[in-house]
Amino acid sequence: MVRRRIGALLIPLVLAACAPMMPHLEGGVRKVPSPNFDARRPNLVVLHHTGSDLVDRALATLTSPERKVSAHYLIGRDGEIIQLVDDRDRAWHAGFSWWGGNTDVNSASIGIELDNDGDEPFADAQIDALLGLLADLKQRYNIPRPNFVSHADVAPGRKVDPSAWFPWKRLAENGFGIWCDAPWPPAPEGFDLALALTALGYSPLTPDASRLSFLLHYAAGNESLSVDAQRALAFCLLNARNENESGAGVDVQAPVGATPY
């Protein structure tokens, strides 16, 4: 059962009350409320680790007005799920980010923090709880299978969480994210790795950092993979994603004379 911390939920309301009013416009603004709207519907889940050794320490950080960081959920090592921000509200977890061309990932996503110091395996009870939460979120918001990503994926070069210990394959086996097991069939001739990473969602503005985040997610951070192996992995993942979306394969090649970005 999700335990809600009422005090934490009040923090966004207090901050909203302190927000500046709309600037004065000559002639004023006529307001005619329309009934045709609904609440924010998240379409992406971003997973983090806290970098902490105690869940209460992470909780203090995520609810501190001075720290100005939050997430929708925090999951302890024992599997306890704590909701900090309502799903319909925008939590402050991704920071400066990019995914699939979206530069405001916070507005489109749900952020989940896993209490873990980054140098340890994730507890089974914690991952079991995460899988249950992800199943609920996926069902309620119809989140596409490929849209379960990491903080490192959306903030390459700036963030490296969750760490190489995170069990991405297990998540994919349960329908959250995509995965390809080695050995991977070779990519076709002309297949462009940088274009492929951009097609997967990574930022083209930081190509090398995006490549390292890609390896952290799909190869446990193994930077010794050859370029051909990285191309093969990216090609396999693009096919997996495309088959999930449309049932068709994918061919990513750079046109002659084209730049990859």
Whole-number pLDDT of residue 24: 56
Mean pLDDT of the chain: 87
Angle at 55 between CA 17 and CA 215, to 5 degrees: 95
Residue at 153 is within a domain: yes
Residue that is written with structure tokens 């449309």 in the block = 246
Burial of 113 (0-12, 13-18, 19+ CB in 10 A): buried
For 145, the 3-state DSSP assignment is helix
pLDDT at 26: 66
pLDDT tens for each residue of 197-208: 999 999 999 999
Q: Which of 127, 158, 177 is the last residue of a domain?
A: 177
> What pLDDT is attached to residue 103?
95
Q: Which residues pair with 158 in a beta bridge?
A: none
- Tell me whether residue 107 is in a domain: yes
- Please report the pLDDT score of residue 183 as a whole number: 95
Q: Are residues 87 and 160 in the same domain?
A: yes
Boundary-marking domain end, from 155, 177, 199: 177
CA nearest to 105, candidates 47, 49, 154:
154
Do 47 and 93 lie in one domain? The reply is yes
Q: Is the same domain home to 225 and 160?
A: no
Kindly state whether residue 10 falls inside one of the protein's structural domains. Answer: no
How far apart CA 46 and CA 153 sit, in angstroms, is 9
Among 113, 120, 173, 223, which one carries the catalytic annotation?
113
Q: What is the pLDDT of residues 157-189, one digit of tens each?
A: 999 999 999 999 999 999 999 999 999 999 999
Answer yes or no: is 32 within a domain: no
Q: Quick one: average pLDDT of 51-66? A: 94
Summarised one tens digit per residue, pLDDT across range 112-130 is 999 999 999 999 999 999 9
- Asked if residue 121 and residue 168 are part of one domain, the reply reads yes
Question: Is residue 223 annotated as a catalytic residue, yes or no?
Answer: no
Identify whether residues 147 and 193 lie together within a single domain: no
For 123, the domain range is 40-177
pLDDT at 246 over 80: no
- Higher pLDDT, residue 179 or 3: 179
The answer to whether residues 194 and 256 belong to one domain is yes
Side chain identity at 239, as an amino acid letter?
N
- Predicted local distance difference test score (pLDDT) of residue 25: 60
Domain contains 137 = yes
Task: Work out how many domains the chain is built from and give that number.
Answer: 2
In this structure, are 61 and 115 located in the same domain?
Answer: yes
Q: Is the pTM of this model over 0.85?
A: no
